């Protein structure tokens, strides 16, 4: 089929008009997505009011208190509110159980990866966008399951996600956020 230049110009103009209309419609398609880095970090639980005046401060030698050891220990303890959360602990346990089924070594739970995963889960819940974070780690996400077991099983039954879970990584981190009846799950591996 041959088109003369006038017909080709008419078709091109029509396509341009349609494309402009689609981009101009008030949907998410034409809006700029905020990046994960622009979102605030989730905040750890606040200290009780008594902590401000020193009434509830731990007693004894400061060097014996958690978080007052080496800089590495301080970083590890800083995010205990996240890494010791029961849901995060259960995700880590089930991920390592799946790896054990294949004779793979367990992964360490990384506070920094948990923080990145939690930040991304919160971002997805806040914005309603379901997408990967573009962080430099291997990442798996899920939207919808209401329990850790359902989330992990969803990843297991998806070959690409399962492959990441079973990859040659040394550490992992998990995060999740519930908003308006929806749960966003994130796993990160490096």
pLDDT digits (tens, 9 = 90+) for 140-186: 999 999 999 999 999 999 999 999 999 999 999 999 999 988 899 99
Percent of the chain residues topping a pLDDT of 70: 59
Q: Which two tokens stand for residue 127?
A: 């914005």
Q: Is the dihedral of CA 128, 171, 44, 145 positive or negative?
A: positive
Phi then psi dihedrals of residue 77, to 5 deg = -75, -25
Q: Return the top range by mean pLDDT from 14-28, 31-45, 101-115.
A: 101-115
pLDDT of 86 > 60? The answer is yes
DSSP, residue by residue, 95-132: HHHHHHHTTPPPPEE-HHHHHHHHHHHHHHHHH-----
DSSP, residue by residue, 4-68: -HHHHHHHHHHHHHHHHHHHHSSSGGGSPPPPGGGSPPPPPPPPPGGGGGTTTPPPS-GGGSTT-
**Burial tier of 166 (Cβ tally within 10 Å: 0-12, 13-18, 19+):** middle
pLDDT of 49 > 50? The answer is no
CA torsion, ordered 116, 118, 125, 161, to nearest 10 deg: 80
pTM: 0.62
pLDDT at 73: 52
Q: Which residues of 135-181 form beta strands (DSSP E)?
A: 138-143, 171-179
Do 186 and 117 touch, CB atoms closer than 8 A?
yes
pLDDT at 80: 81
pLDDT of 93 > 60? The answer is yes
Higher pLDDT, 10 or 74: 74
């Amino acid at each position: 089929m041959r088109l003369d230049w006038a017909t080709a110009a008419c078709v091109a103009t029509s396509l341009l008009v349609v494309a402009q209309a689609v981009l101009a419609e008030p949907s998410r398609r034409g809006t700029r997505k905020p990046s994960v880095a622009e979102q605030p970090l989730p905040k750890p639980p606040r200290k009780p009011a008594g902590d401000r005046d020193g009434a509830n401060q731990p007693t004894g030698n400061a060097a014996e208190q958690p978080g007052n050891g080496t800089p590495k220990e301080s970083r590890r303890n800083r995010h205990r509110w996240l890494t010791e959360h029961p849901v995060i602990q259960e995700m880590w346990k089930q991920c390592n159980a799946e790896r054990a089924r294949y004779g793979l070594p367990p992964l360490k739970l990384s506070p920094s990866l948990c923080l990145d995963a939690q930040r991304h889960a919160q971002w997805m819940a806040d914005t309603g966008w379901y997408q990967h974070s573009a962080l430099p780690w291997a990442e798996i996400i899920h939207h919808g399951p209401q329990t850790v077991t359902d989330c992990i099983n969803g990843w297991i039954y998806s070959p690409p996600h399962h492959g990441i879970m079973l990859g040659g990584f040394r550490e992992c981190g998990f995060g999740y956020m519930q908003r308006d009846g929806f749960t966003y799950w994130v796993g990160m591996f490096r």
